[in-house]
Amino acid sequence: MRKFLRACLCCVMFSPTLGHAAAFEEDPWLMLEKAGQAAHKLSYKGIFVYQSGHTVGNIQITHMNYPQGEFARVVSLDGAPREVLRQGNEAVIYSPQNEKVMIEKRRVQSSFPALLPGLSDMLKASYQAKLVGQERVGGRDGLVIQLLPRDHLRYGYRFSVDREFGLLLKSVMLNERNEALEQFAFSQLTLMPNTGMDWFHPNVERGKSYVMQPEENVVPNRAEGDGWKINHLPSGFVKIDQVSRVMPGKTVPVNQMIFSDGIASVSLFVETLEKGAVPKTGQLVQGAANIYANVIDGYQLIVVGEVPEAVVKQIGESVSFKK
Amino acid sequence: MKERISALMDDEIDADGADHLFKALKSDAELAGRWSTYHMIGDVMRGEAPLSADFSRKLMAQIDNEPTVLAPRKSSHHAHSFLMTAVASVAAVMFVSWMVLQQQAHSPSGDIAPTVAINSVSPESVNSYVVAHQNTFAGAGIQAAYYVRPVALSENGN
């Protein structure tokens, strides 16, 4: 017994990172839950780097939580000076295009550092959460939590949570070879005292005319399309929404079904193959997304998702139509 | 010596400069065994087919044809060490193959298949779907795609 204890002690002594972190914090799931809440509750300002595939950009974020609600201003620092002003879930996007500034209104859900929606049992069924150590990100001390997929149907994630603020400092999506497919990381972060609102305005190419774009034409669609159904969803994925949306250049609205395992998401688009339209078939990778296209019984299917290739394919191949 | 064999195998030393190595290989059965081990490990690591028996035979023939001045007689000790090396080689190759298989087991999609199959899907043709997907779901922070969307995606091309 004494030997065993000594061995344990040695383990702790020789892995100070793990020993320290484990003694420090609680359940990694709880830490992630808290990080999700911190992103909404705290007022902060910082710059983060976003990388997806070969695309890299620096983004500045100012997020304030006032008694009247959450306000955020997000500005791209590289390339076109795109800006997003957000109040709660309502966002206005300003993007300069030639002589004009296009304005788009959108409903958005959480974005970095508020990446984590409510953590469900569904998520726990598909991933294992582990506190694996600590790292310094953007000058802040973070604890590293890994979400390990329980099967090959989804990617893994590595999160760093600020030790002091509880805020997400870094998020990396990793493929089966442990290569980063997409990542966000603060290079600078400070908490803000609650000041006035004078920061909450766009600063996009003043003097240009602003053009409001029509709102996205998306309506909920509860019906199961034109008699089509999904036979085998990859395990852990459930249908979370179904909408019908008008797409550019299409006369007929496209059906979109959205699937998720709690963190990864897949969209399935189904539309009637219009006369003269070129059928799309095959697979493609874009940034962190895998895309699968197929034509079944005169319908064009397109599957897009931040999941392994096999998963978009499985979803695309499991659609069947009543004849 | 190990390093030199390894370098030769990886073409870091040119064949002309390796004459003495061939000679040394011929004189040392253990080194000869090691040579083939290195070679097989290299092949397996690169995902190539393991060496054919023929290749090894040709190599040994080439080594035998090398003019030798001081070829030591094969003693029973040498035979023994050659056997041990052979066993070690097989074990090493099996280990490496196992590791490669382990890695492949984690990538059901396959490493070898090109990401873009022969198909009619171009990035442009699916732009609007990718954007629609990204606009719909907040998942792992996809919204950030707004801010650093590649040029191709910012247009409403379809």
Q: What is the mean pLDDT of residues A110-133?
A: 81
* Residue A245, C-beta contacts closer than 8 angstroms, at least 6 positions apart: A216, A217, A218, A219, A253, A254, A256, B132
Is the pLDDT confidence value at A315 over 60? yes
Q: Is the pLDDT of residue B28 over 60?
A: no
Q: Which residue has the higher pLDDT, A157 or B29?
A: A157
How close B101 comes to chain A (CA, Å)?
13
Pick the CATH number of A218-321 from 3.10.180.10, 3.40.640.10, 3.30.200.20, 3.30.200.100: 3.30.200.100
CB contact under 8 A, B136 and A256: yes
DSSP class of A252: S
Residue type, B153: L
So what's the pLDDT on residue A128?
A: 95
Does residue B154 register a pLDDT over 50?
no
Name the phi and psi angles at B140, rounded to 5.
Answer: -90, 45
**pLDDT digit string, tens, across residues B107-134:** 334 333 334 444 677 877 888 888 788 7
**CA distances (Å), origin A264, targets A89, A109, A157, B115:** 20, 14, 10, 20
Phi-psi label, residue B99: left if phi above 0, alpha if psi -120 to 50, beta otherwise: alpha
How far apart are the CA of B149 and the nearest CA of chain A, in angstroms? 8
Q: Where in chain A is the domain with CATH 2.50.20.10?
A: 2-210
The pLDDT, as a whole number, for residue A286 is 85
Residue of B nearest to A83 (CA): B147
Most confident of A7-11, A76-80, A124-128, B38-42: A124-128
Q: How far apart are CA B132 and CA B139, in angstroms?
A: 14
pLDDT of res. A23: 47
| Best mean pLDDT range from A9-13, A172-176, B40-44, B82-86 | A172-176
The C-alpha of A282 sits at a distance from chain B's nearest C-alpha, in angstroms, of 5
Q: What is the pLDDT of residue A84?
A: 86
For chain B, what are the domain ranges? 2-105, 123-154
- Summarised one tens digit per residue, pLDDT across range A26-40 is 789 999 989 989 999
In this prediction, residues A145-166 reach a mean pLDDT of 95
- How many angstroms separate the CA of residue A104 from the nearest CA in chain B? 11
Q: How confident is the model at residue A113 (pLDDT cuts 50, 70, 90)?
A: confident
Q: What integer pLDDT is reported at residue B50 of this predicted model? A: 43
The pLDDT of residue B152 is 33
**What whole-number distance in Å separates Cα of residue A93 and Cα of residue A199?**
16
Residue A73 with chain B: CB contacts under 8 Å: none
Query: Which of A112-121, A302-311, B81-90 shows the lowest per-residue confidence on average (mean pLDDT)?
Result: B81-90
pLDDT value at B32 more than 70: no
Chain B, window 31-70: residues with a beta carbon less than 8 angstroms from a chain A beta carbon: none
Helix axes B29-45, B76-105, angle to 10 degrees: 10
Q: Convert A200-215 to b/e letters by CB count within 10 Å (16 or more is b).
A: eebebeeeeeeeeeee
Rounded to a whole number of angstroms, the distance from the CA of A187 to the nearest CA of chain B is: 16
Contacts of A177 in chain B (CB under 8 A): 103, 106-107, 111
Segments of chain A assigned to CATH 3.30.200.100 = 218-321
- What does the pLDDT average to over A100-107? 79
The pLDDT tens digits of the residues spanning A55-95 come to 788 999 999 999 888 999 998 888 878 888 888 878 888 88
Question: Which of A16-20, A58-62, A190-194 is predicted least confidently?
Answer: A16-20
Check CB contact under 8 Å for B140 and A50: no
Q: Which chain B positions have a beta carbon within 8 Å of A280's beta carbon? A: 119-121, 125-126
- The number of angstroms, rounded, from the C-alpha of A90 to the middle of its chain's C-alpha atoms is 17
pLDDT number for residue B9: 52
Average pLDDT for A40-62: 90
Measured between CA atoms, the residue of chain A closest to residue B117 is A283
Concatenate the DSSP letters of all residues of A117-166 into one string.
-PPPHHHHHHEEEEEEEEEEETTEEEEEEEEEESSTTS-EEEEEEETTT-
Yes or no, beta carbons of A310 and B108 under 8 Å apart: yes
Give the whole-angstrom CA distance, residue A95 versus residue A103: 7
The mean pLDDT of A3-21, rounded to a whole number, is: 46
Chain mean pLDDT for chain A = 84
Chain A partners within 8 Å of B144 (Cβ): 50, 59, 111-112, 184
Contact B38, B89 (CB under 8 A): no
User: Residue B156 has what pLDDT?
Assistant: 36
What is the pLDDT, as a whole number, of residue A245?
A: 85
Structure tokens at A40: 């909404």
pLDDT (mean) for A151-171: 95
The answer to whether the beta carbons of residues A272 and A226 sit under 8 Å apart is yes
pTM beyond 0.90: the answer is: no
Average pLDDT over residues A4-20: 46
Phi, psi of A267 (to 5 degrees): -110, 135
Q: How many CB pairs under 8 A join A and B?
A: 171
Contact between chains at B147 and A57 (C-beta distance less than 8 A): yes
Contact B121 A293 (CB under 8 A): yes
Q: Is the CB of A43 inside 8 Å of chain B's CB atoms?
A: no
Alpha-carbon span A146 to A308, nearest angstrom: 18
Return the pLDDT at B157: 34
Query: B102 in contact with A at a CB cutoff of 8 Å?
Result: no
Is B114 an 8 Å CB contact of chain A? no
CATH number for the region A2-210 comes to 2.50.20.10
